[in-house]
Amino acid sequence: MFRSVRHRATLYALLLGLLAPTMGHTETVNGANTAWILTATALVLFMTIPGLSLFYAGLVRAKNVLSVLMQCFAITCAASLIWLVCGYSLAFGDGGSMNAWIGNLQNVMLAGVTKDSLAGDIPETVFFMFQMTFAIITPALIVGGFAERMRFSAVMLFSCFWLLVVYVPITHWVWGGGWLAEMGLLDFAGGTVVHITAGVAALVTAIVLGRRRGFQQQPMMPHNLTMTVTGAGMLWVGWFGFNGGSALAANGDAGMAMLVTHISAATGSLAWMMMEWIKHGKPSVLGIVTGMVAGLGTITPASGFVGPGGAVLIGFSAGIICYFATQMLKLRFRIDDSLDVFPVHGIGGILGTLLAGIFISADLGVFSGQGYAEGMAMDSQLKVQFIGVLSTLVYTAVLTFVLLKLVNLMVGLRVDDEQETQGLDISQHDERGYDI
């Protein structure tokens, strides 16, 4: 996804074409790479439904459990169609004179893409599907910022508009040959494209919508932590496809990405658990799974560039810093980011993108990564990383705010007080999650 990864994948494809027997239905298809990306695609979709759906659903109150499941499921369907119609073409097409900012519309409805079309040495349909799963999970992550109080019609309109106006352009900037790719931004699997965009959008949405009724005045405990832990386990497993698949090949890059992903998740979990143990005297299940997600999100942009030693430090930093960010956002600023999307994904994405510029260095001993591409010095790389973080943050915040105001004019953003008290399951879907 980063241009150096593309260069490696192209080189591997050329070498395999010369040295290996033909695999697949054309002379240039790499069967091993294709099989791995097919598997990774299934794993990333597994992250959203059922992984993220169950993780979020367990964290809300019982009267809103179906609403969260419905939102994740519906966003999956809508994002899939948007990606087919024009999202993929705009994100990965050659935009000509506008290529620094956006792609073209040559592949609308996958026009010109057949079963024999290739992206590198894998079928383009497989690349399309893999990238589609990223386009699905990113707006679904934002659900945690407005859970329990947004109209379902507003959720759908906002998610569709946001995917096209925010996610697609930033994807092109970073992975589609746009201006950040040309600068050399390190974002292997989505620190900027996925986690910063989703985290910032969730924060802006939480501020615009306002706090839930009774926020910090009455308990709003997760109604089913067993469900949340089940979803967390699915996220952990699915993340191997998320990061490992971003190598776009079944090779050492994919293997190292999976390794550092696991190490960071484990370290983040223990670091968050340690902070809770110190502060409250007991470790919590909610804390350890949240630390896992923080570790996973933070390693994501760096997963193709760092080694296991760097992954330990990245995961540890994620567990500590994201923990304090969560406390500060709720207690000091009193912002009701309901399921902690910004402090976990937003802060994690920012932290991981910046740390990628440090731990890629080959001069850090046991903490060394893969070394700088094209001879870029650490200070220059950190400058590029900072520009990537800042531009993604500002663009996402401004456009998210504008879209929220537009959707509010169209259908209204928030349910009324009576509907919120009743719960979104009944008020928005006329169903109950539990009938006991």
110 domain residue, yes or no: yes
217 domain residue, yes or no: yes
Domain enclosing residue 62, as ranges: 30-429
Structurally, the chain folds into a number of domains equal to: 1
Average pLDDT over residues 48-62: 97
CA distance 160 to 155: 9
Residue-level pLDDT at 377: 82
pLDDT, one tens digit per residue, over 133-176 is: 999 999 999 999 999 999 999 999 999 999 999 999 999 999 99
365 domain residue, yes or no: yes
CA distance 294 to 322: 7
Residue-level pLDDT at 277: 97
The CATH number of the domain holding residue 160 is 1.10.3430.10
Of residues 47, 9, 264, the one with CA closest to residue 134: 47
CA distance 127 to 133: 10
377 domain residue, yes or no: yes
Residue-level pLDDT at 219: 87
**CA torsion angle 328 399 87 106 (round to 10):** -150
Residue-level pLDDT at 126: 98
CA distance 378 to 388: 15
Average pLDDT over residues 250-274: 98
**Main-chain dihedrals φ then ψ at residue 123, nearest 5 degrees:** -60, 140
131 domain residue, yes or no: yes
pLDDT, one tens digit per residue, over 264-278 is: 999 999 999 999 999
309 domain residue, yes or no: yes
Cα→Cα distances 221→206, 214, 224, 411, 426, Å: 18, 12, 9, 30, 20
345 domain residue, yes or no: yes
416 domain residue, yes or no: yes
Average pLDDT over residues 66-78: 98
Q: Does 252 score more than 90 pLDDT?
A: yes
pLDDT, one tens digit per residue, over 99-116 is: 999 999 999 999 999 999
CA distance 241 to 230: 18
